[in-house]
Structures are given as C-alpha cells and as structure tokens.
C-alpha cells in the first residue's frame, strides 16, 4: 500500500471476479454489489477464478489505487464458506494471506474465558 495510507478494514470478496475489470468496474462492484463504501479507509481484495492472482483496490486522499499480485506456482487460500459476499480480515491476516497462509485451515489457540481460578 501507499506509505501513510490508513487501513481500518480488509474485505475479501468471496466470489472470483473477471480480472479484465479495473478501477472503474471494481469500484462499482464494491459500491453496488457489496454495499460498501469504496472511498472508505479499507482494502477491497479480489481473486481470479484460478486463485493465482489478487487485485487490491483502495482510496488514497484524491484517487483510487489498484495493485495486483500474481503467483507463479501456487494458489491463494481463499474463504470457502462465508456468509455474505465478503470476509473481513485484519491487516496482519491479509499479510499472512499474501505469504501463503491458509487462514481457514490454520487457526490460533482458542481464547479461554474463566470466571474464577478456583
């Protein structure tokens, strides 16, 4: 992302998109099909059908930014069973996704909540 760009949310678009779409088509998809604000402080992440490419759309001060990552030999892990059109992840989880971690197979230890120690 652009240095100094504030990111509060990362939305993974569940369904693959046509990668011929660029800024115009993806921003309309974010607004009209996903019901989200394309001008918000969020990353909107899209995957192609083969899951070897992702596009990330975001707004920075006075214009949209779009970047693409293409894997040469692997596939991106992607949410399989998600309610709704998007899956929200943290910025750290998104970085792990870019590095090849399957967030839906590898889960951290469960958080435990106790009322007392005895």
For residue 15, what pLDDT is reported?
Answer: 93
Distance CA 93, CA 115 (A): 30
Distance CA 26, CA 18 (A): 9
Distance CA 22, CA 40 (A): 18
For residue 108, what pLDDT is reported?
Answer: 66
For residue 103, what pLDDT is reported?
Answer: 84
Give strand ranges (E) for 14-79. 42-47, 53-60, 63-70
For residue 2, what pLDDT is reported?
Answer: 63
For residue 84, what pLDDT is reported?
Answer: 85
For residue 55, what pLDDT is reported?
Answer: 97
Q: What are phi and psi of 99, to 5 degrees?
A: -85, -5
pLDDT in tens, the chain (118 residues): 666 678 899 999 999 999 999 999 999 999 999 999 999 999 999 999 999 999 999 999 899 999 999 999 999 999 877 788 999 999 999 999 999 888 878 766 678 888 888 7
The domain spans of the chain are 9-99
Q: Work out whether the CA dihedral 31, 52, 15, 20 comes out positive or negative.
A: positive
């Amino acid at each position: 992302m652009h240095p100094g760009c504030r990111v509060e949310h990362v939305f993974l678009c569940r369904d693959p998109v046509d990668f011929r779409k660029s800024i115009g088509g993806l921003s309309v998809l974010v607004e009209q099909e996903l019901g989200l604000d394309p001008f918000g402080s969020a990353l909107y992440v899209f995957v192609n059908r083969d899951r070897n490419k992702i596009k990330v759309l975001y707004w920075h001060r006075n214009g949209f930014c779009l970047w693409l990552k293409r894997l040469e030999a692997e596939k991106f892990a992607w949410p399989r069973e998600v309610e709704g059109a998007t899956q929200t992840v943290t910025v750290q989880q998104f970085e792990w996704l870019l590095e090849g971690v399957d967030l839906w197979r590898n889960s951290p230890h469960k958080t435990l909540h106790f009322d007392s120690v005895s």
